Structure 1
Amino acid sequence: MSIRFGPSSSRTVIIHNTKFVQELYNNQKALDRPDLPFFELITPHGAGIGSRPYDKIWMLHTRIVKLALHKVCQNSLSEKVMETFEVLFNRLNEKGNGPQDIAIDLKLASLDITSSICYGFHDDDWTSDQMNLLLKDHDKAMSGLSPFNPINIFPFIKNLPVRLVKEIKDITQRRDELNQRIYDRHVENYTGEVHDVMDIIVDVMENGYNTSHITDSQKKQMDLKSLFMTLTCLSMAGIDNMQSIMQWSVLVLGKHSSVAEKIFMELQQTVAMDTSVTTESRQHLPYTEACVYEILRVSSITGLGVPHITREDIQVGGYKITKGTQIFTNIWHIHNNSHNWTDHEAVKPERFLDSNGQLKLKSDEIFKNYLPFGLGKRTCTGEVIILNVLFLFVSNLVRTQTIKIDNHISELIGNCDMSHKPPAYKVTLNPRVCQF
């Protein structure tokens, strides 16, 4: 079935079937990203992993980033995240006990965590000029990813001396200067240990990386500025996705107090009374981990996923998809329909646990239709970070706070723009009288 909307020459396919998604996203001819005029302004030195085609440079950049994130998780992630959450929870408690909108607080927390993971800096003062400017620049840059941004509708605008273009060029210049300053500082202090993504970039530039399998022209794309672009992509996606999933977590736990209390009981039985929960606790807290999985299913923050485009004509499920077709995956539908999930409208972390109360293996049938990080050869690079940060947020929030959502939110139905965001809400957070 096809539907035509207006006088457009572009073709778009939206896939709702997991089998077709798997077939499609394991096909190298369907893994590129659509061209977006805005990218020419925000990434003038070459595309990062978020926007570049599926090629050997993308693979190399992705391996470097995954190596960095793995080492961050090993060496310093819990410490970085808990520094931020200490500031966050103190900030929220200082606001008082009444209902409050905490969206901006969670965005600042996401900015701080992402900055710490990517660049190695943490700011205790969330009202500082630096934090405000970083947040403002991030929001402006993210707005350019929308297909409805004027630059993407009328590409010629990017060549005109108009305010919008000047703002984006100023943001790009500030970002490039910041990247260079942080890089120079890391070069001076680098000891061989990796504590953030910039450390791995320093290591690659100083010690090299195995590039024997790529051409000389491709090697030129492995310069410092191209790695900065990949770091920028990682940072932008991290801030936006982390904020969204933390907002969903508060909403889900506040609307389903029985789930929050089960997490609290598990924490009481497992974690020492006077310590924060760390990533090392994950294997001992299966119900909490299952709650993380369920929040990701219910929220489906990527909505229609990140668009792909076909570089050649392909066949999927017997259907022909022509070259240059944009493809979206309806992840929200896959996660929220009765064919794939029993009681799909209910919040049931237990669905991810086996008969012994332990997490089901990833080979279990339930994970066949579970795609919070995509599927195939081009899945979310930051999956390991999101899973760990969300676990730390959920466990330490429930450990220290009781959560109550205002009554006007009756269903967990969000709003879609670039991602699936939760409805606006106010929450009352009260410190637990006895934190164990």
Structure 2
Amino acid sequence: MESTGRLTVLLKVSYGQACLYLGSLLIILLSFLLVRQLVKQRRPRGFPPGPTPFPIIGNILSLASEPHVYMKKQSEIHGQIFSLDLGGISTVVLNGYDVVKECLVHQSDVFADRPSLPLFEKMTKMGGLLNAKYGRGWVEHRKLAVNSFRYFGTGQKTFENKISEECLFFVDAIDEHKGKPFDPKHLVTNAVSNVTNLILFGNRFTYDDHEFRHMIEIFSENVELAASGWAFLYNAFPWIEILPFGKHQKLFRNATAVYVFLQQIIERFAQGRTRQSPRHYIDAYLDEMEQSAGDSAASFSQENLIFSVGELIIAGTETTTNAIRWAMLYMALYPSVQEKVHREIDQVLGNSRPPTLEDRLRLPYLEAVLHEVLRFCNVVPLGIFRATSGDALVRGYSIPRSTLVITNLYSVHFDEKYWSHPDVFSPERFLDGKGNFNRREAFLPFSLGRRHCLGEPLARMEMFLFFSSLMQRFSLQFPSGAVPSLTPKLGMTLQPLPYAICATKRQQ
């Protein structure tokens, strides 16, 4: 009896000591992690100044709402080049045209890398095309994509006819609404993505293809989630992956579903392939895989093919789709601007023939409207994050290799040095005194340097042909008493919130 009591006491003492020991270890571990995090948050010597970060999380909370606007305001305090702390990730932000050009053009190689962020590493393993590190893999994939876009798309005279055919499908689908209110997002997204699909797969998808439509919706959702606060938190603290909740988990589930779908669709369009006689990007990529099979350093692989196709679909759809949706919204919002577009189209085209690319020079006001939409709406306000491939010196500041770099393109398009009254929507800023279209230097919706958008020529073709075809046939108005919000939906792109519009067939 007495021995049993002693054993109980000993067990209680041992248990208490064990808890104390484990508690001490936990405190030591947390203290170590805290000190390590605080050390990471120290600015390197010669680094640009910036707003004071909070302990642990840095400046992440400041990016929760309109990060592009926040960064422009900070540049007014700290200068055109300043730094942020994204939870221990030292970041340099470039604001205004002058410093963006200085870095992306005059030091293009140094600012051509991609950051090895945990989110990018998990999603694409830093492979594919858009997120690939600056090196042989990126060069190989970029070259193949540029050649494919030229060979299967913009470099072919017949490709304009294919876009015009898609424009006809598009306006006919709108006409089915008979002037009643509808949300144009679905139709615009499908029409624009089909142009890229012709290059990637040699085929288009019907507007009622629910499987492809669902995949595009997932892509769009991931573009939004990838710039959410949870994404920034995951990059700073990747261990939060163990948490069963959070938007990052939705992002990963979406990515898995898209990967499987792309795998299936690539297999489908690779059927009937003849080696060295490519019909589209898929065939051309598989040819490169076979040719480089004996080269252990080559980057072409089945996995990178899937990543590249997914990235090209996103890049080829999101920006152009949102630009056209913004353009439709602003035509209804500014009837006087829409009236000038209609007048110009009637004078040049009438209603007897569809627009062609040769009409761009004869439709300067329409071109000015599209350019002002891209400037004013800033579809990709922060570009795609970059990193330095080596040590850089910018305006007396030292930027170490592998530093995360954000180019605030919003600040470029609202740079008072180059744009008078930038907060006013005014297509006339792109016209000279004689009414001719006037290119502007500080106009960078497709970025600059080594990593500028390879699909820029295609995007410009699409925007002109889709928008001119739309405006030739329809007048756009909001439903009675329903003016939508101009507040954008935040993500890697700025897209309009869902809105309804009426497209009334014009009587010319």
- TM bucket (normalised to shorter chain) is 0.7 to 0.9
Per-residue CA deviations over 1:47-106 (Å, capped at 9, x if unaligned) read 122101122331232222122222312334333333333333233332342333222332
- 1:48 equivalent in alignment to 2:128: yes
Tell me the secondary structure at the aligned position of residue 30 of structure 1. Answer: coil
Report the Cα offset of residue 239 of structure 1.
1.8
Per-residue CA deviations over 1:133-176 (Å, capped at 9, x if unaligned) read 42344245445633524865653576999985565334312212
Q: Is the 8 A contact 2:357 2:461 kept in 1?
A: yes
Tell me the secondary structure at the aligned position of residue 147 of structure 2. Answer: helix
- Which whole-Å CA distance do the structure 2 matches of 1:91 and 1:160 have between them? 44
Q: Is the 8 A contact 1:303 1:332 kept in 2?
A: yes
* Higher Rg: 2
- Which whole-Å CA distance do the structure 2 matches of 1:101 and 1:381 have between them? 30
Please name the residue that 1:105 is paired with.
Answer: 187
- Which whole-Å CA distance do the structure 1 matches of 2:332 and 2:422 have between them? 19
Residue 414 to residue 97, structure 1, CA distance change in 2 (3 Å): same
Matches within 5 A, 1:189-200: 196-198=280-282, 200=284
Please name the residue that 1:212 is paired with.
Answer: none
Matches within 5 A, 1:177-196: 177-185=264-272, 187-188=273-274, 196=280
1:3 paired residue among 51, 55, 60: 51
Greater displacement, 170-179 / 16-25: 170-179
Report the Cα offset of residue 345 of structure 1.
3.0
- Which whole-Å CA distance do the structure 1 matches of 2:197 and 2:243 have between them? 33
Q: Is the 8 A contact 1:41 1:158 kept in 2?
A: no
Tell me the secondary structure at the aligned position of residue 131 of structure 2. Answer: coil
- Which whole-Å CA distance do the structure 1 matches of 2:266 and 2:365 have between them? 40
Residue type matched to 2:53 in 1?
F
- 1:84 equivalent in alignment to 2:162: no
Report the Cα offset of residue 258 of structure 1.
2.5
Per-residue CA deviations over 1:283-337 (Å, capped at 9, x if unaligned) read 3323322222222111111112211122443211222223343221221122124
Residue type matched to 2:91 in 1?
T
1:168 paired residue among 234, 255, 261: 255
Q: Is the 8 A contact 2:285 2:305 kept in 1?
A: yes
- Which whole-Å CA distance do the structure 2 matches of 1:350 and 1:189 have between them? 51
Percent identity for Structure 1 against Structure 2: 24
- Which whole-Å CA distance do the structure 2 matches of 1:246 and 1:170 have between them? 28
Q: Is the 8 A contact 2:485 2:497 kept in 1?
A: no
Please name the residue that 1:276 is paired with.
Answer: 354
Aligned length: 418
- Which whole-Å CA distance do the structure 1 matches of 2:182 and 2:260 have between them? 36
Please name the residue that 1:431 is paired with.
Answer: 505
- 1:24 equivalent in alignment to 2:113: no
- 1:61 equivalent in alignment to 2:141: yes
Q: Is the 8 A contact 1:287 1:349 kept in 2?
A: yes
Report the Cα offset of residue 13 of structure 1.
2.1
Give the TM-score normalised by structure 1. 0.84
Residue 177 to residue 241, structure 1, CA distance change in 2 (3 Å): same
Report the Cα offset of residue 32 of structure 1.
1.4
Tell me the secondary structure at the aligned position of residue 155 of structure 2. Answer: helix
Greater displacement, 100-109 / 50-59: 100-109
Aligned CA-pair RMSD:
3.2
Residue type matched to 1:401 in 2?
F
- Which whole-Å CA distance do the structure 1 matches of 2:211 and 2:123 have between them? 20
Q: Is the 8 A contact 1:61 1:227 kept in 2?
A: no
Please name the residue that 2:197 is paired with.
Answer: 115
- 1:344 equivalent in alignment to 2:422: yes
Q: Which ranges in structure 2 are unaligned for 5 or more consecutive residues? A: 1-48, 57-86
Please name the residue that 1:145 is paired with.
Answer: 226
Greater displacement, 329-338 / 396-405: 329-338
Please name the residue that 1:155 is paired with.
Answer: 238
- Which whole-Å CA distance do the structure 2 matches of 1:154 and 1:318 have between them? 31
Residue 337 to residue 423, structure 1, CA distance change in 2 (3 Å): farther
Q: Is the 8 A contact 1:308 1:326 kept in 2?
A: yes
Residue type matched to 1:305 in 2?
G
Residue 311 to residue 159, structure 1, CA distance change in 2 (3 Å): farther
Residue 111 to residue 341, structure 1, CA distance change in 2 (3 Å): same
- Which whole-Å CA distance do the structure 2 matches of 1:269 and 1:313 have between them? 55
1:393 paired residue among 446, 466, 469: 466
**Structure with larger RCO (C-alpha < 8 A, sep 6+):** 1
Residue type matched to 2:140 in 1?
L
Tell me the secondary structure at the aligned position of residue 221 of structure 1. Answer: coil
Q: Is the 8 A contact 2:368 2:430 kept in 1?
A: yes
Give the TM-score normalised by structure 2. 0.73
Please name the residue that 1:73 is paired with.
Answer: 154
